[in-house]
Structure 1
Amino acid sequence: MDTLHDGGNDDRIDAVRRFNRFYTRKIGVLEQHLLESPFTLTEARVLFELAHRGGALAKEIGAELGLDAGYLSRIVQAFTEQGLITRKPVPSDRRQFELALTAKGKQTFRRLERASQQEVGKMIERLPGDGGQRLVAAMTTIERLLDNAATGPEVTLRTHRPGDMGWVVQQHGVLYAREYGWDISFEGLCAEIAAQFLKNFDPARERCWIAEIGGQRVGSVFLVKHTNDVAKIRLLLIDPAGRGLGIGKRLVDECIAFARSCGYRKITLWTQSMLLAARGIYQKAGFVHVATEPHHSFGHDLIGETWELDL
């Protein structure tokens, strides 16, 4: 179990504030104007809202962006004088105004949008290797954690199809090298497991499930025949973009349900003591830790663990 010292909360607060300062500097919002345009960040956000809504009440824009009424009023007045927006009183309430972009306003927004896309594109291109993919995955995680009201993306599970095994092997190699420092021999082991699964695949008693979000693969698991009475879980993986959504639990639950339907009497699996998230999933599903075996693999001294679930 993870523990925190007395200053743990302060450390986390400092880390969040440090990241916030770094990120705001990186995207340039501390500059006087955004992307060398005549607009501040707040003004650009007002243009963005109007462009994507096709028009809105001033109070709606203020509420959406959390703007003071006086501050928003000054922005609206400036945009009106520049010919960027129209401002019409609402017939049912003359105190309220409906805002909409003019043709000039739409053109101005398009220029700003292109500049923003180009700037972000250049930033991503400068990242080495799969840095762009890792950046998006990390930002997705941050967004999901901070947006308590979000219902979360729709996750779908499906069985394997051509091309999936390459992804499973590649993701295992990349993620375990990056997160645990395991060497390429682990990727070789994953390739052997995937190859044997395809070569000996028994659709009546074996399955591979792939988890997807928006058509993108974010997780995998295999249930294979170990003996006539015992099934084995292998290659459980959750990509960073899919973590925190309960995907690991769903994949393991699918394995358990399928094993029962096939008449297996037990499920076994082999994991490592330091893979805490996976161990937590297995324990909550009812698996019991039955054996421990220290070993040297993948460039490290590890403690292997065997877990079992009686069906």
Structure 2
Amino acid sequence: MTVQDIRSFNRFYTHLIGALDHGRHLYAPYTLTESRVLYELAHAPRTDVADLRTQLHLDAGYLTRILDKFERDGLVERGPSERDPRRRRIRLTPRGRETAELLDERARQAVGTLLAGVAPEDRPRLAEALRTVRALLSGGRVPRPEDVVLRAPAPGDLGWIVQRNAALYAAEYGWNAEYEALVARIVADYAQDHDPRRERVWIAELDGRPVGCVMCVRDTAPGAARLRLLLVEPDARGLGIGDRLVAAVVAFAREAGCREVVLWTNDVLAAARRIYRRHGFTPVAEKPHRSFGKDLVGQDWRLDLRAASE
């Protein structure tokens, strides 16, 4: 392997991506860097400007000009940070989220076109090769919170949610196939019929693989959203993924006009309950039950979005 080998591959890949966008509409009317900023904002609903600058390695003045343009276009709104009033918070408006979703869909279609030329039996080998490149060129660097991306589910991700929930809860808590059946019903109901204005799924991705998930679905109570199936892989814990996933649900529910977010959990899930408390959820009821092959105490939790926004 030589420097020339890497430079040659870089030219090849750059040309390949450019050929997919021969009409030069992939990011229009924004530049690639501007599209990257929109993508980050779409997957981190409440972001401080300083954090965004660090994540994207952008010059402060350059980022300010981009955000000024977005504000003029009605894509973002800025205000004091909730964590530190000296810092500035930035988040997408509904119009900004629609724009980010459009650009993301164009990118997905472009990559889909690229993969269409790869035989199905060769795709696992390609995925493994990409993971190898990332691992080797990262120099063994420990993953950082900013390496994690929250994104919409891709084909196969809903099945991954079912599989990983079943496997992880069996390994960590001894739950049986009843839990897998419950998760499968929740995911199937979402896949068959969901309102994108009120319901959404997030996948946390690290180094090209899913490492976490959460769902926001309609509740039976009017004006309520329900948080479901929060999960973080064991080897990805400690990166704040659970907090980001819950924050994404809360921000989405608030933007959708919901008055509250509710959830059901069990007393044995201590780590998840700590996350819920940090985001303002409070337990409102609990009841012993026999489910998933275990004696458990189920708990209903609630976050009043009206009180949280005051």
Q: TM-score, normalised by structure 2?
A: 0.52
Q: Give the equivalent residue in structure 1 for 2:214.
A: 221
> Quick check: 1:234 aligned with 2:228?
yes
The one-letter code matched in structure 2 to 1:309 is: L
* Match for residue 188 of structure 2 among 195, 211, 218: 195
Question: Structure 1 223/150 Cα, relative in aligned 2: closer, same or farther at 3 Å?
Answer: closer
Q: Structure 2 CA distance, aligned partners of 1:184 and 1:156? A: 30
Higher relative contact order (CA 8 A, sep 6+): 2
Aligned residues with identical type, % of pairs: 49
Aligned to 2:279: 285
Corresponding residue number in structure 2 for 1:84: none
Unaligned residue ranges in structure 1 (runs of 5+): 1-50, 53-139, 141-146
Residue 176 (1) aligns with residue 160 (2):
no
Residues 296 and 254 (structure 1), Cα distance of their counterparts in 2 relative to 1, 3 Å cut: same
> Contact 2:145 / 2:240 at 8 angstroms: preserved in 1?
no
1:209 counterpart SS class: strand
Inter-partner Cα distance in structure 1 for 2:262 and 2:290? 21
What is the alpha-carbon distance in structure 2 between the residues aligned to residue 300 and residue 259 of structure 1? 32
Matched, 1:307 2:294: no
Which residue pairs with 1:271 in the alignment?
265
Q: CA deviation at 1:161?
A: 2.2
**What CA distance in whole angstroms lies between the structure 1 residues aligned with 2:280 and 2:197?**
24
The residue aligned with 1:207 is 200
Give the 3-state SS of the residue equivalent to 2:222 in structure 1: coil
Structure number, greater radius of gyration: 1
Corresponding residue number in structure 2 for 1:55: none
Q: Which amino acid aligns with 2:148?
A: V
The answer to whether the aligner puts 1:249 opposite 2:249 as a matched pair is no
Deviation per residue, 1:229-271 (Å, 9 max, x gap): 0000000000112111000000000000000000000000000
Instruction: Give runs of aligned pairs for residues 78-227 of structure 1, distance below 5 A.
Output: 151=144, 154-226=147-219, 227=221
Distance (whole Å) between structure 2 residues aligned to residue 190 and residue 274 of structure 1: 18
Give the match for residue 89 of structure 2: none
Q: Is the 8 A contact 1:153 1:213 kept in 2?
A: no
Structure 2 letter corresponding to 1:310 = D
Aligned Cα RMSD in Å? 2.1
Quickly say closer, same or farther: Cα 1:163–1:295, change in 2 above 3 A. same
Larger deviation, residues 221-230 vs 295-304: 221-230
Q: Which residue of 2 aligns with 1:298?
A: 292
Change (3 A) 1:286 1:296: same
Cα displacement (A) at 1:152: 5.4
Alpha-carbon contact 1:295-1:304 (below 8 Å) kept: yes
Q: Is the 8 A contact 2:166 2:179 kept in 1?
A: yes
Paired residues in the alignment total: 168
3-state SS of paired residue (2:213):
strand
CA distance in 2 between partners of 1:253 and 1:153 (Å) = 15
Please, what TM-score do these two structures have when normalized by structure 1?
0.52
The change in CA–CA distance for 1:266 and 1:150 in structure 2 (over 3 A counts) is: closer
CA distance 1:175–1:150, change in 2 (3 Å)? closer
Deviates most, 224-233 or 272-281: 224-233
Structure 2 gaps, min length 5: 3-134, 136-140, 306-310
Task: Give 3-state SS (helix, strand or coil) of 1:162's partner.
Answer: coil
Measure how far apart 1:199 and its partner are: 1.2
Distance (whole Å) between structure 1 residues aligned to residue 156 and residue 147 of structure 2: 22
